[in-house]
Amino acid sequence: MALIELKGITKYYEMGNQVVRALDGIDITVLRNDYLAFIGSSGSGKSTMLNILGCLDKPTTGQYHLNGKNVETLNQNELSEIRNLEIGFIFQSFNLLPRSTALSNVMQPLIYRNVPYAQRKKLALEALERVGLGDRTDHLPNQLSGGQRQRVAIARALVTQPSILLADEPTGNLDSKTTVEIMALFDALHKEGQTLIVVTHEDEIAQHCHRVVEMKDGRIASDSARASTTEVNR
């Protein structure tokens, strides 16, 4: 079943007398439990694609359906609600609140849903256990390693039980050993049924994904299934 459908999506920006075609006619379908990587060089359109998929920006033209909802017709309040209900974001820079504990950071998205404190805490503890940080709940971000901070960010994205996880260069600030650990966690989440979309310029990261979409000049240059690293090494 389709989770995401993009039809004829464009995103144009005016810069002086020029029109920049950041996205120039995108048609793509993402199924539930897809594990997909958008790859491409700087300026290829993959970051704009992430913003559109994450309901952080609206397309210039085209149709975007997310979980059956016609996204491009929604107002800002409705888009904010969609982001909170349907999408979990994971960023390269973690985006954690520096003066809040790991537990408080993970609880944060549930505040916007008016979830009672006791239930927020229970769900956040479960999410931190899920990413292997059950013993770091009271630590501040500056007391955690880069890999641990990214795990907190992943737990925060998971705590709302989103339809989709969007990861923007999720290992860009991590060393190679930690990168392997984080991608192993992504692989495990996919096996549990989570839909994941990863934006990356690193082929080693894309190799974990079961589907790779290459962006070039605002268009899809290729869209192919591939065996994941996990499958290859079995």
Residue boundaries of the structural domains of the chain = 33-60+85-232
**What is the chain's pLDDT, residue by residue, as a tens digit (234 residues)?**
799 999 999 999 998 889 999 999 999 999 999 999 999 998 899 999 999 999 999 999 999 999 989 998 889 899 988 998 899 999 989 999 999 999 999 999 999 889 999 999 999 999 999 999 999 999 999 999 999 999 999 999 999 999 999 999 999 889 999 999 999 999 999 999 999 999 998 889 999 999 999 999 999 999 998 755 444 443
**Are 49 and 215 a contacting pair, CB within 8 Å?**
yes
Q: Which amino acid is at 52?
A: I
**Assigned token pair, 72:** 């491009």
* Whole-structure pTM value: 0.90
Residue 186: the pLDDT is: 95
Residue 110: per-residue pLDDT: 94
Of the candidates 49, 55, 90, 48, the one whose C-alpha atom is nearest the C-alpha of residue 69 is: 55
Q: What is the DSSP string of the chain?
A: -EEEEEEEEEEEEEETTEEEEEEEEEEEEEETT-EEEEE--TTSSHHHHHHHHTTSS--SEEEEEETTEEGGG--HHHHHHHHHHHEEEEETT----TTS-HHHHHHHHHHTTT--HHHHHHHHHHHHHHTT-TT-TT--GGGS-HHHHHHHHHHHHHTT--SEEEEESTTTTS-HHHHHHHHHHHHHHHHTT-EEEEE-S-HHHHTTSSEEEEEETTEEEEEEE---HHHHT-
For the 33-60+85-232 domain, the top CATH level (class) is alpha beta
Q: 99: which residues sit within 8 A by CB, 6+ positions away?
A: 140
Q: Which of 106, 90, 92, 101 is nearest to 186 (CA)?
A: 90
Q: Residue by residue, what is the 3-state secondary structure of 39-70?
A: ECCCCCCHHHHHHHHCCCCCCCEEEEEECCEE
Q: From 82, 80, 60, select the one nearest 69 (Cα to Cα).
A: 82
Residue 227 confidence (pLDDT): 59
Structure confidence at residue 232 (pLDDT):
42
